[in-house]
Structure 1
Amino acid sequence: MEIFQRILLSTSCLLLAVFMVDCSPPESHIKCSSTNTDCTITNSYGTFPDRSICRAANVAYPTTEEELISIVAGATVAERKVKVATRYSHSIPKLACPDGQNGLLISTDYLNRTLEIDVQSMTMTVESGVTLRQLINEAAEAGLALPYSPYWWGLTIGGLLSTGAHGSTLWGKGSALHDYVVALTIISPGGPEDGYAKVRSLDESNSTELNAAKVSLGVLGVISKVTLQLQPLFKRSISYVVKEDADLGDQVASFGRQHEFADITWYPSQGKAVYRIDDRISSNTSGNGLYDYIPFRSTLSLGLAAVRATEDAQESLKDPDGKCASAKLITSTLKNLAYGLTNNGILFTGYPIIGYHNRLQSSGTCLDSPEDALITACPWDSRIKGEYFFQATFSISLSVVKSFIQDVQNLVKLEPRALCGLEQYNGILMRYVKASSAYLGKEDDALDFDITFYRNKDPAKPRLYEDILEEIEQLAVFKYGGLPHWGKNRNLVFNGALKKYKNAGAFLRVKEMYDPLGLFSNEWTDQVLGLKGDVNIIKDGCALEGLCICSQDTHCAPSKGYLCRPGKIYQEARVCAHVSTPEQ
């Protein structure tokens, strides 16, 4: 069996490196039984954290701001719940779910135009459904650049803002797109005097409302258009350097200040860290490099199925050695292929990679997609047997991040193979973020940890080293006060989240002014914002899915030997640990 697994893994890793040209595009995440009525919505992964199905009575596809205003007005008169749906729906939590079955979805698919590029003032105004890729490309054509952005370009500008998505830097205003917003227009429920839809054009002259609208979870209304402050297009130089992780905690703060676009990928079980040395350089420097990140490329579905079958078998057989071997093969393959960097758009001949910013800052070519009957797909496409995972993503203040890293390292010393599973997803991505003026933005200069790990198709089945990942989540969120990424995470990471934001009260006051009936809110946002109930879903096995923190054994999987126990180094944690012998 082990030999068979290794063959599958070797084959699948080879397939991951294949440069596919075409693939099947992601399917629409909104499905209706008849034209735009009786609909369901999911996310790009095909599953929400609680595995529920979200329903809506109908979906509207406005093509102009005028149509958008009319749709909001109609929903306000009818007092219907409304949520905004983006093109690819990459948020993991239930941000796009209207409550009940009678709600309205507003898709921004056709609000996708660039309205103005002012080269002199270096600003760009776009509709909220414009994708990050479109913005980057059209800005570059005008000789301009969005200085920092997420690494995945299949996001819309409205979705980016609503969830606080970001890239990596401690320089300038920071890595979050919302901190480069100079104006936006948002449409909220209104009174009769407004025609039942209130249109607000916000800029830095009304900073209170703008700071609320920059990161809003979609609860203030629907963003119509956004104006961003850009910079002249420039070149970058990128090199990846692998080092031992013994001094990682000492290095992270200074490394982020040394290099403008720095990030670090950490392989804790391997004791390695990959430092991204990434800086702005003179545009006169020769080079036309391209970053086409390999895990974001089209991949053969058979290869993805082989990877998943291997991972399922390793979990079923409780085979940590197999997971560690898989992780080393995957991470070394990515390293040898420079993670998808090429010097000229075709070949990698060595570091540094030099190229224009717009060719290096973001990628996602699996979205370039004529239909091919799912022979190839994005790796997480729910229509195939591909990746199926959890994501834990939180930012920890630079003032305490060294101690958090050391705690994780101490866990690895106790269980050296425990984190091989997340290394099968290329380890922990660590990106730099700065304190933000947005009320729900980052509170401090911080390091953002992005952890992806195996999720079982069966919610009742525990994972190998379940307890270690749960302890890391609780360490981050409770011991070190980590802030959640609003568009990722399992429920437990949002426990008490709003109390960590000093301007939470100001945000809620703007929310009450914009939408006093809560038409743009749903059960999830009410829970996250502390308005009604909490994010925990208490039931048998709830801790396995991150829907709760266990307080009794039934929240784990007692029939499979997983019981609720204190953490190994953080005694306040409560985790589902495998107990191999009966306890006295």
Structure 2
Amino acid sequence: MRERLTNWAGNITFGARRLRCPGSMDELRAVIAEGGRLRVLGSGHSFNRLADTDGQLVSLAGLPRMTEIAPDRRSVRIDGGVRYGELAAHLAAEGLAVHNMASLPHISVAGAVATATHGSGVRNGNLATAVSGLEILRADGSLSVLDRAHPDFAGAVVGLGALGVVTALTLDVVPAFELRQYVYENLPAAALDEHLGEILAAGYSVSLFTHWTGEDIDQVWLKRAEPLAGDLFGARPADGPRHPVPGMPAGNCTGQGGVPGPWHERLPHFRMEFTPSSGEELQSEWHVPRAAARAAIEAVAGLRERVAAVLQVCEIRTIAADDLWLSPNHERDSLALHFTWIADTDAVLPVVADLEKALSPHGARPHWGKIFTTAPSEVRAAYPRFGDFAALVGRFDPRGTFRNPWLDALLD
């Protein structure tokens, strides 16, 4: 019987015939050997049909957990099913850390890497940039092991699940560190215009939150090692814990008020032990060159009323450039504009289309796992190495075992 499976937000009902959860590599190989199309389902935090299939969905959550720290303590090898919260707890116990984390520690590492999910920081690359090795199980049962010296590596890391099943990853790690998290409120629009670069560089990780109901920025979240006192370019320190979305409990969020804490309890916005929201939301995100940051923000401001009518919150972050072929930050320092929408697809999609039109002149690239309506041809044109990626997919998966209609439209 066909199982009715949905993504985390519930806006996508997968067309899969069956969800498989193998408990070993041998069982995974056997599932692939059955034939037919197959996609890997991570933690379900995608909002489009990237993970969908009319074949079988495979979860790697049942594989044995693996966290092997290298003898030089500069890297860790993990299995393809581990989530960031699980990895963080293990690394922290060993006095180690990854360089950055996304807002949610609940997401799977392999899924975040495959879609170039990111945290924030003008000097911090997205989460995929920590990858130094990949192990990919292909449709013929062979295992491809790639490292940074391999000519296919930069194309395979942000691979959209199109090359095969990522069964293991090796990540760079650094010594564990502490951060303080500060929340400021009501950043004046004039300060944003005059000091945007300074504000975005004021911490190890910086996020701006706005509801686009006024000209000011509602909240600034600063994560930094050094203590900070007083105002921030006219924004005042919050008088208590805050949640980015009005009405949501601040207790779900990581520690604030400048209290020092370990990296994994400050870099994410939300605590691992809490569900950050009910999932009743949709999400979109676009990355523009950091040089176009002010122009892109002004473009969104020009749609303020339409955006605010269907918005829960908008987050503005920075990501450093990288060389990964399908990374939205490929060869350019970037500003990301992330929109958490109400759970009403019919109301949201026209606004998404308007934003795409407004941001297109500024070189916008959509987040692979979010809602966007940009034509595949335009998406392909935004990536200088897209043709090389399509050829890589053809070599790794010539029968299209790991493709689906979403990928067919993108690649063909």
Q: What TM-score, normalized to structure 1?
A: 0.63
Aligned-partner residue type, residue 60 of structure 1: R
Secondary structure of 1:491 counterpart: coil
1:145 is aligned to: 97
In structure 1, C-alpha distance between the alignment counterparts of 2:339 and 2:128, rounded to whole Å = 23
| Contact 1:293–1:364 (Cα < 8 Å) also in 2 | no
For residues 9-408 of structure 1, what are the structure 2 equivalents within 5 Å? 33=1, 38-48=2-12, 53-72=13-32, 74-75=33-34, 78=35, 80-86=36-42, 88-99=43-54, 103-111=55-63, 113-118=65-70, 120-171=72-123, 174-190=124-140, 197-206=141-150, 208-242=151-185, 243-273=187-217, 274-281=219-226, 294=243, 331=246, 340-342=253-255, 351-362=257-268, 364-365=270-271, 379-381=277-279, 387=280, 389-408=281-300
Q: How far is 1:254 from its partner?
A: 3.4
Change (3 A) 1:473 1:237: same
The 1-side partners of 2:276 and 2:202 are apart by 34
Q: Which residue number corresponds to residue 335 of structure 2?
A: 447
Whether contact under 8 Å (1:39, 1:59) holds in the other structure is: yes
Q: Could you tell me which amino acid in structure 2 is paired with residue 40 of structure 1?
A: R
Return the offset for 1:294. Answer: 4.5
Paired AA for residue 236 in structure 1: L
**CA distance in structure 1 between the partners assigned to 2:302 and 2:67 by the alignment:** 52
Alignment match, 2:358: 475
C-alpha separation in 2, matches of 1:341 and 1:514: 41
Indicate the residue corresponding to 1:436 in structure 2: 322
8 Å CA contact 2:241–2:251 kept in 1: the answer is: no
CA distance in 2, matches of 1:492, 1:362: 29
1:519 paired residue number: 401
How far the C-alpha of 1:511 sits from its partner, in A, is: 0.7
Tell me by how many angstroms 1:338 deviates: 9.1
For residue 95 of structure 1, give the secondary structure of its aligned residue in structure 2. helix
Change (3 A) 1:367 1:56: farther
CA contact (8 A) 1:145 1:234 kept: yes
Deviations 1:50-105 (A, max 9, x none): xxx43333332222223323332x13xx3x1111112x311111122223xxx222
Deviation at 1:449, TM superposition (A): 0.6
Shift of 1:202: 0.8
Provide the residue aligned with 2:237 in structure 1.
Answer: none
Unaligned runs of 5+ in 1: 1-32, 191-196, 283-290, 296-329, 344-350, 369-376, 382-386, 532-584
1:511-570, Cα deviation, whole Å (9 max, x unpaired): 1110011110011011123x1xxxxxxxxxxxxxxxxxxxxxxxxxxxxxxxxxxxxxxx
The offset of 1:497, in angstroms, is 0.8
Do 2:352 and 2:373's aligned partners in 1 also have CA atoms closer than 8 Å?
no
The CA distance in 1 between the partners of 2:262 and 2:361, in whole Å, is 41
Code of the residue aligned with 1:450 in structure 2: it is H
How far 1:225 sits from its partner (Å)? 0.5
Once the two structures are aligned, what percentage of the paired residues are identical?
A: 21
Contact 2:132 / 2:171 at 8 angstroms: preserved in 1? yes
Distance 2:66 2:15 in 1: 31
Amino acid at match of 1:166: H
The answer to whether the 8 A contact 1:41-1:97 is kept is no
What SS does the aligned partner of 2:201 have?
Answer: helix
Question: Using a 3 Å threshold, how does the CA distance of structure 1 residues 97 and 264 change in structure 2: closer, same or farther?
Answer: same
Q: Is the 8 A contact 1:109 1:129 kept in 2?
A: yes
Q: Distance in 2 between matches of 1:358 and 1:399?
A: 30
The 3 A distance-change label for structure 1 pair 250 and 446 is farther
Q: Aligned-pair distance for 1:337?
A: 5.3
Q: 1:21-50, CA deviations, whole angstroms, 9 ceiling, x for partnerless residues? A: xxxxxxxxxxxx4xxxx33332111122xx
Residue 419 of structure 1 and its aligned partner are, at CA, apart by 4.2
Larger mean Cα displacement after TM superposition, 502-511 or 484-493:
484-493
Partner secondary structure for residue 51 of structure 2: coil
Larger Rg: 1
* CA gap 1:422/1:357 in 2 versus in 1, 3 angstroms: farther
1:280-337: per-residue Cα shift (whole Å, max 9, x none)?
A: 359xxxxxxxx99847xxxxxxxxxxxxxxxxxxxxxxxxxxxxxxxxxx64x67x95
Q: Distance in 1 between matches of 2:66 and 2:268?
A: 19
1:114 CA drift (Å): 2.2
SS of equivalent residue, structure 2 residue 161: coil
**Per the alignment, in what secondary structure is the counterpart of residue 401 of structure 2?**
coil
Give the distance between the partners of 1:58 and 1:469, measured in 2 at CA.
32
Tell me the distance in 2 between the aligned counterparts of 1:495 and 1:391: 22
Structure 1 residues 447 and 342, CA gap change in structure 2 (3 angstroms): same
Query: Are 1:489 and 2:371 an aligned pair?
Result: yes
* 1:131 positional shift: 0.7
CA distance in 1, matches of 2:366, 2:260: 34
Amino acid at match of 2:92: A
Q: CA deviation at 1:505?
A: 1.5
Please name the residue that 1:288 is paired with.
none
CA distance, structure 1, for counterparts of residue 17 and residue 258 of structure 2: 53
Taking a change above 3 Å as real, the CA distance of residues 337 and 55 of structure 1, as seen in their structure-2 partners, is closer
Offset, 1:223: 0.3
Number of residue equivalences: 396
Residue identity in the other structure for 1:148: N
Q: Which amino acid is the alignment partner of residue 94 of structure 2?
A: A
How many angstroms apart in 1 are the aligned matches of 2:125 and 2:17?
38
On the 8 A contact 1:241/1:275 being kept in 2, the answer is yes
Q: Can you list the C-alpha shifts for 1:220-243, whole angstroms capped at 9, x where unaligned?
A: 000000110011001112222231
Find the aligned partners of 1:489 and 1:456 in 2 and give their Cα distance: 12
Counterpart amino acid of residue 379 in structure 1: S
Give yes or no for contact 1:245–1:271 (8 Å, CA) kept in 2: yes
Please give the alpha-carbon distance, in whole angstroms, between the structure 1 residues aligned to 2:273 and 2:255.
20
Q: Which whole-Å CA distance do the structure 2 matches of 1:116 and 1:448 have between them?
A: 33
CA separation of 1:163/1:469 partners in 2, compared to 1, >3 Å: closer, same or farther?
Answer: closer
Change (3 A) 1:292 1:200: farther
State the AA in 2 paired with 1:42: T
CA contact 2:254–2:271 (8 Å) conserved in 1: no
Conserved 8 A contact 2:253-2:271: no
Cα distance change, pair 204–342 in 1 and its aligned pair in 2 (3 A): closer
CA distance in 2, matches of 1:58, 1:501: 34
1:163, distance to aligned residue in structure 2 (A): 1.1
**Following TM superposition, by how much is the alpha carbon of 1:488 offset from its aligned partner in structure 2, in angstroms?**
0.8
